[in-house]
Structure 1
């Protein structure tokens, strides 16, 4: 017959934790947003880094044989420099006995400095057609290039063939490279060379519109009339031979300072320069060659059209108009640097001083890339370590779980004499009207003698009345004002009649032999507490199936591993048994944390009590049915676990047998339940990163391999628990959706912990659909 113990006294004042919880509640939404923003920021950094690392290969010539009928003959047959002054295409050649050295694909931190040394030793300038992504990653090299008197041209931002791109993509490639130059060296440029371009006679109907568009925007397109073919790495002598102009002609000569291994280029360059100087050749930049040619045409000023007056110079530098030093020029240095030759007034005439928004946006781009260059390699290294640790953990779980199963299922295995004495079952309940009847009816069918203590924690839905009205034997109902789950459990322990107490949730259902199985380990006097096997009862939905997989793997792999290592971190609130005197010895259930089950488990370890896992004691619980409720539950669990670990941080220095949890369990929990999951979303982001920017096939196979390992672990856990394998069909989807949500929950919890927020015991909405437990599966 049910008895009721009413609460006494006035309603208590809110505790300090509850007051803090009220203040923290208002901050939860911003913390979720902060967690998402943090993940988004890191994702953006990796995408930026991947975009910058677009592969740059040798300048193979492409699209031979395409139609050229849209291209003017004077362009196809003209020189390697193409301008559109006045809207008309005009070809220019490099003057006789003059060489304009050009380098593509850089700057490269290995080869560009070596090439600069050769150029400086020989007092020769060059024009470098740079890739914007390389500029943003190596801004100091661009400063060195400009400061040494060399000229800069654009080679697109990602080294893409512009012929097949939209106008928007062409504009973006140019603008992004200009921003990179502005941020790196404070300049922009009017020179352009298209990736995979060659001589002017290779311009076709696909590429001609691009050159026209850029020419109308003020760009000078530069082609090749002498190619060293150094990207093929044919040998030093062949590189030199390939770079030789025919007879005494001038030439725009192509080399590369990036895009591959360039040691042959470096070796060939010095010899080539000396050899050409000995033949009477001079060296200049593309702008220098243009200026020299114009100076030879009737004496007009460099950069001036034949019919143009000296005061009408459309290409005159803004810095010259304002009297400022040209970009990259040292004080006292003549315009054009060390190679002021043959009437070329300014070998850097293509440069423009970056100002205003362009300058600041460029600096922001370079700064963002610097952050990415620092963060991404560090994350890659850290995630590699995490990946190895996770794979090691999977292996350890399989080995130890198998050993645990074989040990506990031997015929001769015994905890000691059978435990047959009665035990007390404590059921804390708060607004459990949907579930309390199923819970108590399942206990009433127990094959082990028990007393049932229902502690109604201030329910307002008639939970205590329902429990009393069932008329079940050995049931006591204790009413108390709402004080939280730990207080309800402690109240139940105080009223318990027996030395072993079983604790469960008000929405949980036991099988008839659950209590009997759960208490058998207490035959061993060293055992102070026992964790049972909690199972998801409502697994008919996608969310329920995901949680079912998680529970089966957690209880049949994790807890078996921790049991053998003697460092069980948590006795689940849904099903756990304790020696009553052990609970009282550690001060009962603490209100210091939200994970009172983890808190007391660690406290028992520190008291020298052994905590074990009993897989045959099964309890069926109602898992959250909505993502919102699931988030709320897991948020409380993960945050409570962090609180408990912090509370017991001194266990790391505990000595003797009682220090085993601190030496073994604490590091395992911190690494694999907090640190590893926090970084796990980035592993997925890196997988996508690698698929897009590195090697799609290899990355996909790696992801599938990890999924296969997880599937093997899950299948073994299902086998140990005699579960049906059909639920494993949901595992791939669980990895793509459910797991990501759990990661965000943990990140949310970490942010809450770092910002000092507090939460209280939260009530989830129940339906009471978990009734009399069916067979497994």
Structure 2
């Protein structure tokens, strides 16, 4: 048929998807580096003893806090008596930096701010205010990194990015540098000194401290004031903080320190002015300003992506928990309704016609027909419609010479046409539609049609089970059928919005099929399309858990891909075809208000976001504590295991396959969401998908036959 003629499946989107995921990971990595900032600093080597200073010249450890290390011999400078250079680390902070600036302005004092480059990008207005009010800016690295413990490439990157960030915000370039986790020259370690020597090669002047207030420990306002006060009227570089935590004590101590020491004849100035050096801020090159601006937008974009991913995960988690809660509540209601003792209508024993469309089903057709003929139902005919098979499917059935079995042959026209041929030839008013690879239990037909005792029921879905579940792929599909399909069908039944009766087992009133025009042929999910038509015609569609059909699931990933690709694409076709149901009332309105939104969210939207979620999980492996990740992973698996266990118990299945559930998250889940991606792309570009037929092996029929023997 013309509808099966299609262009080659699109493939370029896989490159775009991979590129997008790589860019997402890069952005999240940038955000992880930026937001993994230390909260305050303390002396990295204070109290370490002589061993910590190995490799540091004595001139440095006994000298002043301002170090120029770009010459063969280090040059140190100290501040003159009664001169204090207040320095503030870890900013700018939107809460505390303005308060510090207000105090300095009120007391007409100036200071030097050693800023973290990532925070400069977040608050460039504060950096500009610092300069506008006459203060000085220095570098405190881009991510508050420990320079002494970082490799050389990381050191260079930290300093370069900070310069670019300040250049973009102010048009100037910093030269002063204070390494994080540093205090006085006496506490300088060998690796820290080596890092400062390397930084001097790019024009940086190191600034340590004479007085470390340790305000990050919040020791109290008097202790901070005392720690900041030089002894015997000497000058000092004083280390304080305007970011990285609660700085209320710092602000209060500053407001007390400035008038006290000013009254004692001290002056407060910047580091450069204090040592009578030229201003440290140099005009930035245009290239630095432009690259700094690009860096800022990249950082902000990465932060926005991380926020969006957190929101997405939160929404997905809420939706997942809500879905589970609704499924459990509806399943409980469904179980009480179908299993509790109650007054029942007379049993349905009217004639039933079973229609089996078959195209190259030689591997399973004999087992399928035998299982139907063996049904414990009083009036049954079986119609096998051979749709132009080339493997002798019809011949196999005819040679069986079974009573009540008819074989109809037609040229290949597709499954819907074969079903419609069978519907026209059927003699009964109740019709059961069965796939050619499906095996029924003796009581399946009887249990399946009992729901027709209710005259409002137009169609009934049976319970499809995976027969070939011995291998890992089969176990995964078995769990999916029991958890995803049958739990959903119980929910759909209770909510009266069943969107799909599976092709493997479904029963219909003949009058219903004729009223809706038979099995539609303009989508690849004719079962979903037909079910939606029945609902829109005003009939109820219910689920019968006890009517069990065994089917052969795909035995390879390639076959699984082909099957699910067709299912997903066909489901989207059916959803689009019946989109107007959103405005309808009655049974169709329930499909529009409940069924279609559910399908859209859980079978399309969330799977489309799954690749990004996996990238976010990889990001978590890089930046989050493994203990937290392990706990979260274990929690999710436990929730899934409880859900799966509950579904298995409802279906009276063994719990043994649960061991394969963790592995399902590593392969099977990815295949399923990539199928959705492929299907959506195919639909968006307007391509037409061919019928993706699965090659049957007969394994399922053999397994079921052996089980029943």
CA gap of 1:181–1:409, structure 2 versus 1, over 3 A, is same
Structure 2 Cα separation of the partners of residues 452 and 224 of structure 1: 93
CA gap of 1:517–1:92, structure 2 versus 1, over 3 A, is same
Structure 2 Cα separation of the partners of residues 72 and 666 of structure 1: 75
2:359 corresponding residue in structure 1: 430
- The aligned runs of 1:104-123 (5 Å cut-off) are 104-123=89-108
Do 2:496 and 2:587's aligned partners in 1 also have CA atoms closer than 8 Å?
Answer: no
Structure 1 residue ranges without an equivalent (≥5):
1-11, 293-301, 303-344
2:31 corresponding residue in structure 1: 49
Alignment size in residue pairs:
702
Structure 2 Cα separation of the partners of residues 479 and 286 of structure 1: 96
Q: Secondary structure at the match of 1:629?
A: helix
1:134 corresponding residue in structure 2: 119
Structure 1 Cα separation of the partners of residues 264 and 684 of structure 2: 72
1:565 corresponding residue in structure 2: 495
Which has more helix, going by share of residues?
2
1:260 corresponding residue in structure 2: 245
1:371 maps onto 2:356 in alignment: no
1:514 maps onto 2:460 in alignment: no
1:324 corresponding residue in structure 2: none
CA gap of 1:26–1:640, structure 2 versus 1, over 3 A, is closer
1:442 maps onto 2:371 in alignment: yes
1:624 maps onto 2:554 in alignment: yes
Do 1:407 and 1:413's aligned partners in 2 also have CA atoms closer than 8 Å?
Answer: no
Structure 2 Cα separation of the partners of residues 380 and 116 of structure 1: 34
Structure 2 Cα separation of the partners of residues 460 and 33 of structure 1: 39
Q: Secondary structure at the match of 1:724?
A: coil
Do 2:464 and 2:504's aligned partners in 1 also have CA atoms closer than 8 Å?
Answer: yes
1:62 corresponding residue in structure 2: 44
Deviates more, 1:34-43 or 1:718-727: 34-43
1:703 maps onto 2:688 in alignment: no
> Which residue of 475, 479, 484 corresponds with 1:545?
475
CA gap of 1:737–1:213, structure 2 versus 1, over 3 A, is same
1:576 corresponding residue in structure 2: 506
Structure 1 Cα separation of the partners of residues 156 and 12 of structure 2: 38
Q: Secondary structure at the match of 2:190?
A: coil
TM superposition shift of 1:715: 0.8
- The aligned runs of 1:570-719 (5 Å cut-off) are 570-680=500-610, 682=612, 685-686=615-616, 689=619, 692-694=622-624, 696-719=626-649
Q: Secondary structure at the match of 2:79?
A: coil
Structure 2 Cα separation of the partners of residues 108 and 484 of structure 1: 68
1:322 corresponding residue in structure 2: none
TM superposition shift of 1:611: 0.7
1:531 corresponding residue in structure 2: 461
TM superposition shift of 1:618: 1.3
Structure 1 Cα separation of the partners of residues 683 and 109 of structure 2: 61
CA gap of 1:351–1:595, structure 2 versus 1, over 3 A, is farther
Q: Secondary structure at the match of 1:152?
A: strand
> Which residue of 284, 304, 307 corresponds with 1:353?
284
1:249 corresponding residue in structure 2: 234
1:229 maps onto 2:159 in alignment: no
CA gap of 1:597–1:147, structure 2 versus 1, over 3 A, is farther
1:95 corresponding residue in structure 2: 80
2:679 corresponding residue in structure 1: 749
1:80 corresponding residue in structure 2: 65
> Which residue of 410, 417, 423 corresponds with 1:493?
423
1:189 corresponding residue in structure 2: 174
Do 2:309 and 2:616's aligned partners in 1 also have CA atoms closer than 8 Å?
Answer: no
TM value normalised by structure 2: 0.91
RMSD: 2.8
2:254 corresponding residue in structure 1: 269
TM superposition shift of 1:625: 2.2
Do 2:569 and 2:679's aligned partners in 1 also have CA atoms closer than 8 Å?
Answer: yes
Deviates more, 1:531-540 or 1:764-773: 764-773
Structure 1 Cα separation of the partners of residues 420 and 128 of structure 2: 71
Q: 1:567-593: CA deviations, max 9, x gaps?
A: 222111221111122122122222343
Do 1:514 and 1:617's aligned partners in 2 also have CA atoms closer than 8 Å?
Answer: yes
Q: 1:494-524: CA deviations, max 9, x gaps?
A: 2322222222222222223222222221122
TM superposition shift of 1:775: 4.7
CA gap of 1:478–1:178, structure 2 versus 1, over 3 A, is farther
Structure 2 Cα separation of the partners of residues 354 and 481 of structure 1: 77
Do 1:107 and 1:141's aligned partners in 2 also have CA atoms closer than 8 Å?
Answer: yes
CA gap of 1:41–1:282, structure 2 versus 1, over 3 A, is same
Q: 1:329-354: CA deviations, max 9, x gaps?
A: xxxxxxxxxxxxxxxx42xx244514
Deviates more, 1:569-578 or 1:501-510: 501-510
Do 1:490 and 1:589's aligned partners in 2 also have CA atoms closer than 8 Å?
Answer: yes
Q: 1:196-244: CA deviations, max 9, x gaps?
A: 1110011123322222222234322111112232212233343233222
TM superposition shift of 1:136: 3.4
TM superposition shift of 1:122: 4.7
1:210 corresponding residue in structure 2: 195
Q: Secondary structure at the match of 1:763?
A: coil
TM superposition shift of 1:463: 3.6
Deviates more, 1:444-453 or 1:254-263: 444-453
1:319 corresponding residue in structure 2: none
1:454 maps onto 2:384 in alignment: yes
TM superposition shift of 1:468: 3.9
TM superposition shift of 1:430: 3.1
TM superposition shift of 1:284: 3.4
1:296 corresponding residue in structure 2: none
TM superposition shift of 1:680: 4.8
Do 2:497 and 2:587's aligned partners in 1 also have CA atoms closer than 8 Å?
Answer: no
Do 1:691 and 1:700's aligned partners in 2 also have CA atoms closer than 8 Å?
Answer: no
CA gap of 1:587–1:683, structure 2 versus 1, over 3 A, is same
Structure 2 Cα separation of the partners of residues 187 and 489 of structure 1: 77
Do 2:562 and 2:693's aligned partners in 1 also have CA atoms closer than 8 Å?
Answer: no
TM superposition shift of 1:689: 4.6
Deviates more, 1:708-717 or 1:554-563: 554-563
Structure 1 Cα separation of the partners of residues 95 and 104 of structure 2: 15
CA gap of 1:572–1:360, structure 2 versus 1, over 3 A, is farther
Q: Secondary structure at the match of 1:366?
A: helix
Do 1:450 and 1:474's aligned partners in 2 also have CA atoms closer than 8 Å?
Answer: yes
Q: Secondary structure at the match of 1:253?
A: strand
1:311 corresponding residue in structure 2: none
Structure 1 Cα separation of the partners of residues 102 and 407 of structure 2: 89
2:183 corresponding residue in structure 1: 198
TM superposition shift of 1:713: 1.4
Q: Secondary structure at the match of 2:595?
A: helix
Structure 2 Cα separation of the partners of residues 143 and 33 of structure 1: 43
TM superposition shift of 1:670: 2.9
1:763 maps onto 2:688 in alignment: no
CA gap of 1:42–1:599, structure 2 versus 1, over 3 A, is farther
Structure 2 Cα separation of the partners of residues 250 and 104 of structure 1: 19
Structure 2 Cα separation of the partners of residues 62 and 182 of structure 1: 29
Q: Secondary structure at the match of 2:181?
A: coil
Do 1:442 and 1:510's aligned partners in 2 also have CA atoms closer than 8 Å?
Answer: yes
Structure 2 Cα separation of the partners of residues 121 and 480 of structure 1: 96
CA gap of 1:588–1:126, structure 2 versus 1, over 3 A, is farther
Structure 2 Cα separation of the partners of residues 641 and 123 of structure 1: 72
